[in-house]
Chain A
């Protein structure tokens, strides 16, 4: 019963794939995204949109609720839209000697003193490629981290040979972020109660930064000594075999998942080779 509570039982076959397999899928997907970006139809890399469909497809097939997915993904989406916008309106050409193709010239009115925004074709193509690349890679990483618990990932990496101290540092970092985050709010409130101004112009706010962060870091660093003692007393540093209480196992569908990924990738590789040869 106790072990059951420690182990995470996932029912979705895709979400419970072995973490290393998922890492392979992420890697293949990202590399392929770069390759597909070079397949152009009339200058536009339309296939990137098709390739991108795998991200929401995988996410919903893994049973991730839309809100969770959206929270992480929206940040990247905003960056991508900004990239397209700026490239589209501002980037005219790749370099000297290339012709500037203006796609759309809008005239809001016929008044001579209204500036009409133009969309440059090169900027649009470049922007689409850059942002779709980012969306693809970021999206697949979002899928990875939303279907894999951090301790599953560390355990799988350890099984593949990562040193146990590295795993500890990784897990400890995630914990320390929470701890220091809570401490920082406490310290900021305490300093505010002592009269440190946190609202106002940039310089006032900058002055508020130092008294907030110095006590935080200081207490964290000086507490390290005790934590070292604790770890050493628990045998962390001794060069003996360690036992693990948390296990990660393959769920049997890894071969199928990798097979499908490689097959789909090969389709596009062949497409690219054919395009190149012609």
Chain B
């Protein structure tokens, strides 16, 4: 009989998860750098947060997100203001992951919609209220054009953010999905939410290997 898994903060923040956070931060940083190096119109600075959220749950994802913007803010202080956005990405992804919302393709679509809404609701107010619509990124030019054509600040920012943030998150999620597919099962199992992503093949192989080996008490980890 399968008992419902209990998530504790201590289990979420195991050593492997703790060490995942610096990697997530570095991925976010490098992702942002690559995006601007290749001159793509996206931020791509939430890939690591999403990875941490999917593997180790909402709180680890949130910490990874917050730390990313703190660290990148050292070099470019504008990023300090967007800490809530990255934190919310981590939280939402983590809770979706706990609910096993990434197993079927239709669940993916629902998750994407939730993620997109959450991102816009958190990002748009900051852009409008703190920056007046202009943050200096590539999308600002588009926002300014819309504003010049007469639309209000809110509708210009939201329409631009809607398109580019959604695309940005879709790309980030696809990258994370690709990465998780290739991570070996023995690594996945160490994370809180990792077991959802172990492929059927690996599960079958483990079970058949388990049938030959003597029965062990499975640890709740």
Chain A positions near chain B (C-beta within 8 angstroms): 72, 75-76, 78-79, 82-83, 86-87, 89-91, 126-127, 130, 133-134, 137-139, 141-142, 145, 165, 168-170, 172-177, 179-181, 184, 188, 198, 202, 205-206, 208-210, 212-214, 216-218, 220-222, 224-225, 227-228, 231-232, 236-237
Contact = CB atoms under 8 A, between A and B. Distances in A.
Nearest to B147: A90
A78 B137 CA distance: 11
Contacts of A87: 132
B178 A214 contact: yes
Main secondary structure of the interface of A (DSSP, over half): helix
Contacts of A208: 38
A104 to B, nearest CB: 17
B21 A213 contact: no
A75 B27 CA distance: 22
Contacts of B190: 225
Contacts, number: 168
B40 A202 contact: yes
B: interface residue count bin: 35 or more
Q: Which of B30, B131, B178 has the most CB atoms of chain A within a 10 A radius of its CB?
A: B30
B78 interface: yes
Contact of B144 (A86, A142, A172, A214): A86
Main secondary structure of the interface of B (DSSP, over half): helix
B189 to A, nearest CB: 11
B80 interface: yes
A134 B18 CA distance: 33
Contact of A209 (B19, B34, B74, B77): B34
